[in-house]
Structure 1
Amino acid sequence: MRICPPLFGCLEPSCMCLCFFSLIQDLLGTTMNSTVLPPGTFWGQYQDITRFNTHLSVAERLWVAWYAWVQNDVLATGIMSFVIHELFYFGRSLPWIFIDSLSFFKRYKIQSSKVPSLLEQWDCAKFVLLSHFTVELPQIWLFHPTAQFCGLSTSIPFPSPWTMIYQIAIFFVMEDTWHYSFHRALHWGPLYKAIHKIHHQYSAPFGLAAEYASPIEVMILGFGTVSCPILWCAFTGNLHILTMYIWIVLRLFQAIDAHSGYEFPCSLHHFLPFWAGADHHDLHHEKFIGNYSSSFRWWDYLLDTEYTPDALKRRRGKKVKAKKTEDTMI
C-alpha cells in the first residue's frame, strides 16, 4: 500500500491507493477501471502509466511517473530544478572550456591576449559550485511552494509550443529590464565595491564565469529570472513549470554565451541586431562601464549607456554639436 502524492489529488495522509488509476485520476482527467497497485520503482510507475495511457507523450509519461514515484511535490520539483540547473550550466560551459584550449579559435577571441588558464577555470568552477549549493539551492527549494501559491501548473498535458514560445519571449523582455536596472545600480560606487566587484574579477570573461558573483548579487539578479515568470503567472494564472524550466535553460545559455569572450561570424547579433551577445558584454567587463543589459541592446541605446565604437562616435558628435550651439549663443 502506498500513500497518494498530493500532486494527484489525495491530500489525506491516511488515504491508501486501492488502485493505480485512481492515483492519477485528477491529473489525467480520465476514468480508471483497473485495480493494479502502483509499483515501487520509477520505471515500474512509468511502465504502468504507459500501459494504460498511450495517448500521453513519452515526456508526459516520464513526468507523471517522476512525481508519482517521489510522492512529495516539493522534493520532486526541488531535485528536478537543481539537477536541470547544474547539468545545463556546466554542460553549456564545457564547450567553451574546450574552445579556450584550442589555438584555432583564438582568432575569434575578443580579447585575444587574455585566454583563461585551466587553473583559473577550475578556481572559478569551485566558487560557482559553492554558490550553487549555499545560495541557489535554498532558493530552488522554496520555488515550488511559491510557484504553487501563484498558480503555477505542474500537471499534464504540457502547454503547446506556441504558448511556451510567446511566454518565454515575454520573460526575456521582462528580465532584461530587471537586469539592466539592477546591474546599472550595482555599478554605483558603494554597491560596486561591496557587491559587484567580485563579478568583475575577470576583465576578459569566460563561460564558467557567468555566475561568478557575490551571494547578494546572485540573489538580486537571479530573483529577476525567477520572479518575472512568477509575476506573469500571478496575473494571468497561465504558466506551466515546463515553460519555466525551458526559460531558465535558455537564460543560462544566454548568460554563458555572453560571457564566452568569443565573437563568431555566426553570432546571433549578426542576424538580430537588437540582441546583445558576447561582443556587447565583453566590452562591459573590459571597460567596467556601460552595456548593462543582459539579452537586448535597446535599454543601453535608449538610456545612453551603450559602450560601442558607434555609441562613442555618436556621443562625440553630440558634444561637438552642443559646443557649436553654445559658441553661437555667446
Structure 2
Amino acid sequence: MVSAVYHDYSSFNDAKDFVGVFQNFDKLDLSFIEKLWGTYYYYMNNDIFATGLLIFATHEIMYFGRCLPWLIIDQIPAFRKYKIQETKMPSNKEQWECFKSVLKSHLLVEALPIWFFHPICDKLGVGLTVPFPSWTTIAFNLAVFFVLEDAWHYWLHRGLHYGVFYKYIHKQHHRYAAPFGLAAEYAHPIEVMLLGFGTVGIPIVYCYITGNLHLFTINLWVVLRLFQAIDAHSGYEFPWSLHHFLPFWAGADHHDEHHHHFIGSYASSFRWWDFVLDTEAGPEAKKKRELKMKQKAEKLN
C-alpha cells in the first residue's frame, strides 16, 4: 500500500526509515510542514491508520499540553490577582480527579470513532496531498468553522440547560462553578459527542457541500478549537486577553460567568449570539436588562 499523500514517487529513493523518506520529500518544492506531512504519511504506509493516529495524538498532546501552563499558573500566587473567582482555587485533588475523568473519556468515547474518520474524509473528498491549499484558503476555512461551531455550540448548549437535559447530561460539566483548564472537556459522554460534532462534524458537512477541504486544515482547526475551549475554562482574565483587542471574542470572563451563575453566556467563541438574544450572564448583564425593561416601561407610560 502506497500513501496517496503525493502524486508521483518516481524520483524517490527506496528509503526505509523516516529520515530517508524526509530526504526524498526534501527534494520537492514544498514548505517544511508539507515535507513533514508527506514524510509521515509515506512512512506510515497506511493512510487510515496514519490519519487516526495523527488526530488522536494531536488532540491528546494539544489538550493536555495547553492545560499544563494553567496548572502551573494555579500554583503561582503572583497570578492570583488575575483569577476571575479569586477565592475559588481548584485543589490538587480536584485537578487530578478531573484529569482522570477526561482521559477516560478520551480513551473510551473519542478514540474509537477517530479510526473511521479517514474513510469518511476519503469518501467525501477531503484532501490529503501535498502541497497544501494557500494560507488564505486555510484562513477562510478556519473563520467559517469558528462562526458555524459557535452557532452550533450556542443553541445546543442552551438546549442542554433545559430541564431533563441539564439534570441527566449537562449537570456533570457544571460540577466546577469556578472552571479551570482541564475541565474544558469534563462532560457527560453524550455531551462530548453532541458538542464534539461542532468541531469534527462541521468540517465534514462543509466538505460535503463545497467539495473543497484539506485534512491539514481540519487538524489545525482542532488545535485552535482546543486552545479556545481550554482558555475559556482557564478562570483567568488578563490585560492582554484577546477580547480586549477583539471585543466580539468571548474568552474566559464570558464563560466564567456562565459557570458562576449556571445560566446565560452559552456561546463558545464569540459574544454576538448572547448579546443579540439577551442571554449574557452575570450581574452587569442583569443590570442592563433591568435598565432596558425600565426604559421600555417608561416609554409606554
Instruction: Look up the match of 1:70.
Output: 44
- 1:279-330 C-alpha deviation (Å, 9 max, x unpaired): 000010010000000000000111111124442222112332344466x4xx
Matched residue, 2:22 = 46
- Aligned pairs (5 A) from 1:251-262: 251-262=225-236
Distance 1:128 1:156 in 2: 34
Match of residue 203, structure 1, among 158, 167, 177: 177
Correspondent of 1:216 among 190, 194, 200: 190
What residue number does 2:243 align with?
Answer: 269
Counterparts of 2:216 and 2:283, CA distance in 1: 41
Q: Secondary structure at the match of 2:51?
A: helix
Which of 149, 164, 186 is the matching residue for 1:190?
164
Q: Is the 8 A contact 2:3 2:42 kept in 1?
A: no
**Structure 1, gaps ≥5 residues long:** 9-26
Give matches, 1:1-330, under 5 Å: 4-5=1-2, 7=4, 27-28=6-7, 32=10, 36=13, 38-50=14-26, 53-324=27-298, 328=301
Distance change (3 Å), C-alpha of 1:33 and 1:190: closer
Aligned-partner residue type, residue 75 of structure 1: F
Matches of 1:181 and 1:33, distance apart in 2? 52
Matched residues in 1 for 2:221 and 2:97: separation?
A: 28
Instruction: Give the TM-score taking structure 2 as reference length.
Output: 0.95
In the other structure, the counterpart of 1:15 is none
In structure 1, C-alpha distance between the alignment counterparts of 2:120 and 2:245, rounded to whole Å? 38
Tell me, in whole angstroms, the C-alpha distance in 1 between the residues paired with 2:184 and 2:272. 21
- Does the Cα contact within 8 Å between 2:261 and 2:282 map onto a contact in 1? no
> Hey, what's the Cα distance between the residues in 1 that align with 2:64 and 2:187?
16
Q: What residue identity is the alignment partner of 1:274?
A: F
Letter in 1 for 2:134: S
Amino acid of the structure 1 residue aligned with 2:4: L
Relative contact order higher in (CA < 8 Å, ≥ 6 apart): 2
Larger Rg: 1 or 2? 1
Distance between the aligned counterparts of 2:11 and 2:291, measured in 1?
Answer: 77
Deviation at 1:29, TM superposition (A): 5.0
Q: How many residues align structurally?
A: 301
CA distance in 2, matches of 1:254, 1:110: 17
The answer as to whether partners of 2:80 and 2:86 remain within 8 angstroms in 1 is: yes
SS in 1 for 2:116: helix
- The aligned counterpart of 1:23 is none
Amino acid corresponding to residue 173 of structure 2 in structure 1: H
Secondary structure of 1:229's match? helix
SS of 1:5's partner is coil
The worse-fitting range, judged by mean Cα deviation, of 116-125 and 259-268 is: 116-125
4+ long deviations beyond 3 Å: 321-326
Q: Percent identity?
A: 54
Query: Are the equivalent residues in 1 in contact too, given 2:3–2:45 (CA < 8 A)?
Result: yes
**Residue identity matched to 1:116:** P
Distance 1:125 1:310 in 2: 33
